[in-house]
Amino acid sequence: MKYPKYKKVLFCTDFSENADYAFEFAYGIAKRDDGLLYILHVIPGNPQEAFVERLIPRDIVEEIHKVIEEDTDKKYKERYIKKIDDSVKFEIVTKSGREDEEILEFTKQEEVDIIVMGTHGRTGTENVFFGSVAEKILRRSPFPVFIIPDRKKLERS
């Protein structure tokens, strides 16, 4: 049997510890298959942003966005880019909005072959109130999804 080749691997990160663990899988797949590794972070949209922009001067809002962008760039470099060797092609992508919608839009736009992401393993009430980005992606994605469970849960088993 021949396994599928994943030429476009999408790794989704929230910069959590488990996302860092999931990166190992996404990177491994991209390296094995000589694929392109997309590293995507979605900055959650603020539904009250228009309201906030009316109360806070525009230059301060722009400064906040600049600080967030610099922090995100620093996290990409420290957590992922420094671990990638020269043989692996990669692209950094940052979006803003609702995480699941932005991820799915990107997957369709780029026609990725597989999505790799971690989950925090929330259950019960916590999941009901916060929802799960991984679960939403898994339910709605037309592409294969590789969900990496919380490493801490694996270690306790």
Q: How many angstroms separate the Cα of 122 from the Cα of each of 76, 107, 114, 129, 137?
A: 25, 24, 23, 10, 15
Task: Encode pLDDT of 87-123 as tens digits.
Answer: 999 999 999 999 999 999 999 999 999 999 998 755 4
Domain range summary for the chain, segments of one domain joined by +: 8-156
The residue-averaged pLDDT of 121-150 equals 74
Q: What is the CA radius of gyration of the chain?
A: 17
Q: Does domain 8-156 have CATH number 3.30.930.10?
A: no
Q: Grade residue 156 by pLDDT with cuts at 50, 70 and 90.
A: low
142 phi and psi, to 5 degrees? -85, 0
Model confidence band, residue 125 (pLDDT cutoffs 50, 70, 90) = very low
Whether the per-residue pLDDT at 6 is higher than 70: the answer is yes
pLDDT class for 129, splitting at 50, 70, 90? very low
User: Mean pLDDT for the chain?
Assistant: 88
Count CA atoms within 13 Å of residue 136 on its CB side. 14
Whether 31 contacts 88, CB under 8 Å: yes
pLDDT band at 124; cut points 50, 70, 90: very low
List phi, psi (to 5°) of 86.
-65, -20
In tens, the pLDDT along 78-91 reads 999 999 999 999 99
